[in-house]
Structure 1
Amino acid sequence: MQISSAFAAGMQGLQAAQSGLTQATVDVAQASVQPTSASSAENSSNAVAAVGNRPDTTSALVSAMVSERQGEASVDVLQRASDTLGSIIDIEV
């Protein structure tokens, strides 16, 4: 079993937070796009299907907030790892 360092865990957390925030912003953008006006029944059914496939704005915003908190926690992990390493080698980082 391999245990990763605190720096690696912090960086992985930051990357996951960035990825999650990117996806959440894409979801919000897709949810805010208005469907094109449909003039026929076929276009109307396509517009309804497109609306059904769009992500929910509320859940996308919640995901963005979760990613923000994950990023903050990862920064805290990196800061504490840096402080710990500085105290171990008796250097103020």
Structure 2
Amino acid sequence: MQIQSAFNAGMQGLQRASAGITEETININRQTQQNRQQEQDVAVQERSETTPVQTQTATSTQDVTQSLVRMEQQQQQAQANVRSLRTADEMLGSIIDVRV
């Protein structure tokens, strides 16, 4: 395997992991905002003494939990790609040391 392709693979993997982390962060933020809005809607309806609003807290909690799990997976993928970049860097350093 060429060192350049190891660098490219590591960088592409790191970029994918970074994009995945960003996406999951956005999902968590969106879900948190929806949860807050639902809580405000429930509070308003409780004050006006109308029929209680059914909330979807179990579903929203699962969505946030799934996003957190996927974010952890992306973090582990990023760490693995950083390790491959370090290894490729060390190999390149060893080759240069041998040739000089």
Common fold: TM-score over 0.5? yes
- Name the residue aligned to 2:85: 78
- Larger RCO: Structure 1 or Structure 2 (Cα < 8 Å, ≥ 6 residues apart)? 2
Q: How many residues in Structure 1 have an aligned counterpart in Structure 2?
A: 82
Q: CA deviation at 1:59?
A: 0.5
Distance 2:70 2:23 in 1: 9
Distance 1:56 1:6 in 2: 35
Distance 2:41 2:72 in 1: 33
Which AA in structure 1 matches 2:25? T
TM norm structure 2: 0.67
In the alignment, structure 2 segments of 5+ residues that lack a partner are 46-52
- Name the residue aligned to 2:16: 16
Name the larger-Rg structure.
2
Quick one: percent identity of the two aligned structures?
Answer: 37
Tell me the SS of whatever aligns to 1:56: helix
Give me the CA root mean square deviation.
Answer: 2.8
